[in-house]
Amino acid sequence: NLIELSSTFKKLIDESEIIAVASHLNPDGDNLGSVTAMVGMLNKLGKDVVFILDDKIPKSFKFLPNLSFAKAPNELQNDFDLFIALDSSDENRMGDNIKKVFEASKKTVNIDHHFSNTNYADLNIVDFKSPATCEVLARIFETLNLELSKEIATSLFTGLSTDTGSFKYSSVSSSTFLTASNLFKYDVDIDEVTVNVYQSRSREKTDLLIRAMNSIEYFHDNKIALVFVTKDDMEKSKAEKSDADGIVEFVRDIDTVELAILLKEKDDCIRLSLRSKSNIDCTKIASKFNGGGHVRASGGTINHTDLIKAKEDIIKVAEEQL
Ligand code: 5GP
Ligand code: MN
Ligand code: MN
C-alpha cells in the first residue's frame, strides 16, 4: 500500500547523500514533469541530486524548472547512493548508458504507471491505474505530507496534463482531478503550461505533420489509418526527433478511426506508435513488435527498415484485433 511504500521511499532518501533521478529516452511531458518535480523535492530536502539525461529536451518542455540539474551519463563522476527511475516500465527504456548508472547505484527505486512494468528496482512503486507517473508522485508527496512549491506543482501538473491528453482519457479518475486541484493550491500558472506545451508548435514540426499526413492510408472500413514518417520527411522539414510527437494522435482523432498507426523510419529499425479510441488494446499489437505500453497508447520496434513490409505485417496483426 502507498503509505508503507512511501515511508520506505522516504527512508531510502533520508539515508542517501547523493541521488540520481532519471527517466526514459525520448522524454515526454510525464517523464520530464516527474523527473523535475523529484529533483525539486530532493533539493528542498537538502539532498545532492543529479538529473541524468541522455537525450534532447523537446522545445515545448524547456520552460520546466530544474532542467539545469541535467547531466549526461558520461559527465558523471561518482556512483550514487540512490537511483530513482521515473516513468520507465523497465531498465532498458532508460537506454544503455543510463542503465549502467542504474546498475552501479547502491539502492534503486522505480516509480511508474505502466501495466507492463517489470518491478526491476529494490523498491517499486507502480500504480497502473494512474494515468501518469506525475499522479503517482504527487500522491507519494501528499502521503508523506511534503509541502510542494510552485515549481514542483508546475512540473507535476504538466505531466498530469500531457499523459491524460489534457484530462480526456478514460484513465482519468476522481483522484486525478483531486491531484490537479491540490497542485493548483500552489499557484500553477496555467497559461505558462498551455502556451509552452500546446500552443508553440514550430513551423518545422507543422511541416513534418503535413508531410506525414500526405502518406495516410486507410484499412478495414476506415477503422485503421496508417502514416509514415520517413528519414526524408525529417530532413526536408528540418524537424527534430520529438517533432513526430502528436502525429499519431492527429490520425486517431479522425472520426472513423479506431486504431492509428505511425511507422517512423530510423537508421537501422522502424519505430512503431499505436493509438486507439475504445475497443482495441494496443498492447496486444505492440507486444508482437518488441514493445508495450498502455491499452490506448503503445509503442514498439521493428528490426528492419523495409517500410512496406512493416506496413503489411502490422496491418495483418491489427486486423486480427478488430
Ligand atoms: P509512443 O508511441 O509515444 O512512443 O509511446 C506510447 C506509449 O507506449 C508510451 O506510454 C510508452 O511508454 C510506451 N512505449 C513506447 N515504446 C515502447 C517500447 O519499445 N517498449 C515498451 N514496453 N513500451 C513502449
Ligand atoms: Mn513517458
Ligand atoms: Mn507516463
Pocket test for ligand 1, best of 298, 301, 302, 314 (most atoms within 8 A of CB): 298
CA of 233 to the centre of ligand 3 (A): 27
E runs forming strands in 216-296:
217-219, 224-229, 259-265, 270-276, 292-293
Could you tell me if the CB of 154 is within 6 A of ligand 1?
no
pLDDT in tens, 50-68: 999 999 999 999 999 999 9
Task: Give me the pLDDT at residue 278, please.
Answer: 86
Could you tell me if the CB of 301 is within 6 A of ligand 1?
yes
The C-alpha atoms of residue 14 and residue 107 are separated, in whole angstroms, by 12
The C-alpha atoms of residue 300 and residue 54 are separated, in whole angstroms, by 20
pLDDT in tens, 174-228: 999 999 999 999 999 999 999 999 999 999 999 999 999 999 999 999 999 999 9
Task: Give me the pLDDT at residue 312, please.
Answer: 98
Q: What is the DSSP letter of 1?
A: -
Q: Across the chain, how many H-helices and E-strands are there?
A: 12, 12
The C-alpha atoms of residue 261 and residue 51 are separated, in whole angstroms, by 33
CA of 148 to the centre of ligand 2 (A): 22
Could you tell me if the CB of 273 is within 6 A of ligand 1?
yes
Residue among 108, 107, 186 at smallest CA distance from 148: 186
Owner of C-alpha cell 547502491 = 106
Task: Give me the pLDDT at residue 218, please.
Answer: 98
Task: Give me the pLDDT at residue 138, please.
Answer: 98
Could you tell me if the CB of 159 is within 6 A of ligand 1?
no
Could you tell me if the CB of 58 is within 6 A of ligand 1?
no
Task: Give me the pLDDT at residue 78, please.
Answer: 83
For the record, the C-alpha cell of 306 comes out as: 523495409
Residue among 94, 136, 92 at smallest CA distance from 112: 136
ipTM of the complex: 0.96
pLDDT in tens, 287-296: 999 998 889 9
Owner of C-alpha cell 510542494 = 148
Could you tell me if the CB of 293 is within 6 A of ligand 1?
yes
Position 190, amino acid: I
CA angle 231, 236, 240 (to 5 degrees): 65
Burial (0-12, 13-18, 19+ Cβ within 10 Å), 54:
buried
Using a pLDDT cut of 70, give the percent of the chain over it: 100
Residue among 41, 261, 262, 39 at smallest CA distance from 141: 41
Minimal-distance CA residue to ligand 1 atom 14: 299
The C-alpha atoms of residue 214 and residue 211 are separated, in whole angstroms, by 5
Report, in angstroms and rounded to the nearest whole number, the Rg of the chain calculated over CA atoms.
Answer: 20
pLDDT in tens, 103-132: 999 999 999 999 889 999 999 999 999 999
Q: Which atom of ligand 1 is nearest to the CA of 272?
A: 2
The per-residue pLDDT of the chain, averaged, comes to 97
User: In terms of C-beta distances under 8 Å and separation of at least 24 residues, what long-range contacts does 299-302 make, across chains too?
Assistant: 299/271, 299/272, 299/273, 299/274, 300/271, 300/272, 300/274, 301/269, 301/270, 301/271, 301/272, 302/263, 302/269, 302/270, 302/271, 302/272
Q: Which atom of ligand 1 is nearest to the CA of 273?
A: 2
pLDDT in tens, 5-54: 999 999 999 999 999 999 899 999 999 999 999 999 999 999 999 999 99
The C-alpha atoms of residue 319 and residue 322 are separated, in whole angstroms, by 5
Q: Judge contact between 178 and 167, C-beta under 8 A.
A: no
Could you tell me if the CB of 89 is within 6 A of ligand 1?
yes
Task: Give me the pLDDT at residue 50, please.
Answer: 97
Q: Which-ligand-closest: CA of 132?
A: 3
Give the C-alpha distances (Å, rounded to integers) separating 117 from 4, 92, 109, 292: 20, 11, 13, 10
CA of 7 to the centre of ligand 2 (A): 25
Task: Give me the pLDDT at residue 293, please.
Answer: 87
CA angle 101, 104, 110 (to 5 degrees): 70
The answer to whether residue 77 scores a pLDDT higher than 90 is no
Q: Judge contact between 47 and 53, C-beta under 8 A.
A: no
Angle at which helices 150-163 and 133-143 cross, to 10°: 140
Could you tell me if the CB of 298 is within 6 A of ligand 1?
yes
CA of 273 to the centre of ligand 2 (A): 13
